[in-house]
Structure 1
Amino acid sequence: MIELKEIDKYIESRFQRIFILKGINLKVEQGEFVTLMGPSGAGKSTLLNILGLLDDDYSGEYLIEGKAIHTMRDRDRSALHKSEFGYIFQAYHLIDELTVFENIETPLLYRKVPGSERKSIIANLLDRFNMVAKKDLFPSQLSGGQQQLVGIARAIAGRPKVLLADEPTGNLHSAQAKEIMEVFQELHREGTTIVQATHARENADYGTRLINLVDGKVTTDEKITHV
């Protein structure tokens, strides 16, 4: 489904190239639940940004369903990003001028989901995350944990084929974190491909595969077996 070949990402300093990612070769099959782990600065977020078509400043080849991303027109790449991917950002990236309801609605508008269906999907998500009373509030009126829940609801509202999550439980208390990981597990069972970056080993245990990154390189890539 997704294949990266010899991906390098670097910045040019005055005297040398500083690599953020180096020689990344990675295949993610449809329906996998992959966890990226590694210390801060290992390249996890950068790799997620490349996978999610948010960063095209790299060398190497990125293929989706066998088609090379660099051969696509900008318009087609943008359409692919909006139709296939859901993204949970570490820094929320909610739209300040929109309410909780309107933020969650955004990907559904991109996908031209009819109004009555949009309302039903959002109502279910608000109920699931105990946010019904917050639906008319703006991001600035929410706590960090609440903003994260809205970001997660927005990412999964459109039922993306690929869900990319950058430290999805980083601002949540343990009960909320467990609930979110169980939602991910449910989405995975329904066929969603998930790639998450996390520091939490217990989050990795919900998935099917664990990839460790150190200094921008893959050091280990192993299957996770569930008893």
Structure 2
Amino acid sequence: MIRLTHIDRYYDSKFQRTFVLKDINFEVNEGEFVSIMGPSGSGKSTLLNIIGLLDSPSEGRYELYDNSVLDLKEKAKVEYHRNFMGFIFQAYHLIEEMTVYENIETPLIYKGVKSRDRQAMVADLLDRFNMVAKKDLFPQQLSGGQQQLVGIARAIVGKPKLLLADEPTGNLHSTQGEMIMDVLKNLNREGMTIIQVTHNERFANYGRRIVRLEDGLIRHDEKQMEARV
């Protein structure tokens, strides 16, 4: 499904080249749940952004379903984002002028989902995340944890084939974090491919595979017989 071959990401200054990722060879099969771990600055978020077509490598090859995607036009990337991928960002990226309900509904509008179906899908997530009472509030009226929940709901409402999650539980207290990880585990059981970046060893173990980055290199790539949670 995903194949990265000899991926480098670097920045050139006048006197030196600084690598963020170096010689990354990485494959993900459909239906996997992969956790990416590593210290700050190890390249985790950059790797996730390249997979999500939000950043481009300096060198290397990226194939998605056996199609090279590095030279895609912007319109084609938007179609992948709209119909194939879901994103959970550390920085939320909620639309400030929209209510909680509207933020969650927006991906469904872009996908062309009918109004009645949209209402049912949004209502289900609002109920699941205990956010019904917040549905008419705007992001600035929410706590950081509540904004994170809205961002997660927006990412999964359209049941994307591939979910990319950058520290999905980073702003949540432990109970909320476990609830979100249980949601992700169930979505994975239903067939969704999930790649998450996390610092949390316990939540990393929700995945069936843990990849550890250090200094832009993959140091370990460990498959687990089953999730340890």
Quick check: 7-16 or 125-134, which moved more? 7-16
Q: Partner residue of 1:123?
A: 123
Equivalent residues, number:
227
Question: Partner amino acid for 1:147?
Answer: Q
TM-score normalized by structure 2? 0.97
Displacement of 1:206 in angstroms is 0.8
The separation in 2 between residues aligned to 1:99 and 1:59, in whole angstroms, is: 41
Gaps of 5+ in 2: none
Runs (4+) of structure 1 exceeding 4 A deviation are none
The separation in 1 between residues aligned to 2:70 and 2:42, in whole angstroms, is: 25
Aligned pairs for 1:167-206 (under 5 A) are 167-206=167-206
Question: Partner amino acid for 2:15?
Answer: F
Question: Partner amino acid for 2:111?
Answer: R
- Give the share of equivalent positions with the same residue, in percent: 58
The separation in 1 between residues aligned to 2:5 and 2:81, in whole angstroms, is: 20
The separation in 2 between residues aligned to 1:57 and 1:8, in whole angstroms, is: 6
Q: Partner residue of 1:72?
A: 72
Question: Partner amino acid for 1:141?
Answer: Q
Quick check: 153-162 or 58-67, which moved more? 58-67
Per-residue deviation, residues 22-55 of structure 1 (Å, max 9, x unmatched): 0011000000000000000000001111111111
Displacement of 1:77 in angstroms is 2.1
The separation in 1 between residues aligned to 2:34 and 2:58, in whole angstroms, is: 22
The separation in 2 between residues aligned to 1:94 and 1:71, in whole angstroms, is: 28
Gaps of 5+ in 1: none
The separation in 2 between residues aligned to 1:95 and 1:210, in whole angstroms, is: 32
Aligned pairs for 1:1-227 (under 5 A) are 1-226=1-226
TM-score normalized by structure 1? 0.98
Question: Partner amino acid for 1:109?
Answer: I
Query: For 2:70, what is the secondary structure of its paired residue?
Result: helix
Displacement of 1:75 in angstroms is 1.5
Query: For 1:70, what is the secondary structure of its paired residue?
Result: coil
Residues 153 and 99 (structure 1), Cα distance of their counterparts in 2 relative to 1, 3 Å cut: same
Displacement of 1:57 in angstroms is 4.7
CA RMSD, aligned part only? 1.0
